Structure 1
């Protein structure tokens, strides 16, 4: 009976087997490494990063816009102050000139009538009584001259103060003008960079971003049952609703385009109410109330620095001018962190 025992492997077979095992082990190691590297979540797509960066730039541009609006508002106020100061200086200078002219006339009259010693004049006078009458007049002229001299000194002192104040206002005005220019440059730089990034997107990604930017409510949402806080608040809401669909234009306060605080300021102006130009100023334009008590017409400011503002329209909606490329629209009141709710 033959033996069924397996033959011992030759040296060649043993070497081939070792190589095979080694190759399998190496393949397993490579596959394992590949599996391990694939385990973490995939990184964000470049388009997502670009969109996030564009949103950040728009936020920073809006903050710079509100700083620009504040500086521009201050510049306007200073221009008015400088103009009024210059008017006062002109009037005061005219008064000084009149006083000087009057004093000159009195001095001339006194010189012509009283140029010699009074006792000598009396001795040679043909009519002593007439002389005494003239002397009394001269005394009164001297008293009047002294009074007008005091008045002239006061007027000159006031004129100097007005000129000093005017010079200070002009210096402050120049600083404010420079601040306006600096903030304007910042806004334009941010928006230029945002446009550059948007233009770097593929056509499909750009279209998706544009759709998201315009994915808003420009139609009237259900605001039934929303009661304005006052008649003027109701008028302001109606004005804001009339602006829905108009473009965001930084630094603009209507009527063809708006930035965020420009929209709310313009809306209240249509109701006959003046409120500050900036979102930070509008935050304190009235009484602050809890969000739970918000009524149409209330101003809602956002972010910790109150750099964005919208108008509460009712039923959890605000009307606001979001950012460049997005029109005035309705959005949920909780679209970003709320800083305050202000009832004007």
Structure 2
């Protein structure tokens, strides 16, 4: 007997990838339900060649649903996820809303699947940039420990949604086809739709993702810091991030510097990454082999390369990490969580609702 699975935000950039991942999933599924805002309700999408009409998300949308995958923004998750739990569903939330909630596991299945055993009806999917970094670093942490992480990200515009993809393509056309100066193209979304100013991304790099916090780091940067500590269950790891948006449509890249607690031989580090599920080593400088965004698109894996010792710090290591932010960074990690819940027998109604109904 299979599950009834709902996707909230089914028509969005991540939601459409969730559909694809569910179609390829080992999860036993009897029925899917697509939920959205009033703007997209009524559209017809496919699931394994069957037509499914998109429904409006309401408080009563989750009756009979076993697993609800949310990717429609934090406010939607805040409002409707508790109703899904009350109806008996397990929620896998791809927004940032529940990530730091003490009763919500924050899970990358390759890294901390054990945390699922303590779920109270909601499981949170980490930030896309955090996910790929965790896959790359966990095999190192397991063997040599980690004391410090410094990461600079080069993030694709798809992380800001379909509208950002469209705006980027429009800006590129304005420059290449119409001869407009890149600084004069129309910008309404990036670096953050919720901030006061908007800047072009075409032929540009924007060192701001999300709005700034009081400490002059952005929320995206603070997400990476806090989420890393929660996932690795270690508040003593020093983590610092600089997050940059670049004019790439899909797949995030990261330059990661780490300091291990014990000195880690580079050859052994590479062997550990090769053996780790979900991680793929692409590292042969003599043949110019290293991870690239264009090659990662469409893959569920995280690619790791340019692994090398720091020239001055004995326990310092540099690396380059790339992954498809819409798949492993969002849709696939969410479906993978659902598969793991099934494998562990954890798709079941919770005994008590710990989340407030709005």
Same fold (TM over 0.5): no
Using the size of structure 1 for normalisation, the TM-score is 0.22
Using the size of structure 2 for normalisation, the TM-score is 0.21
Larger Rg: 1
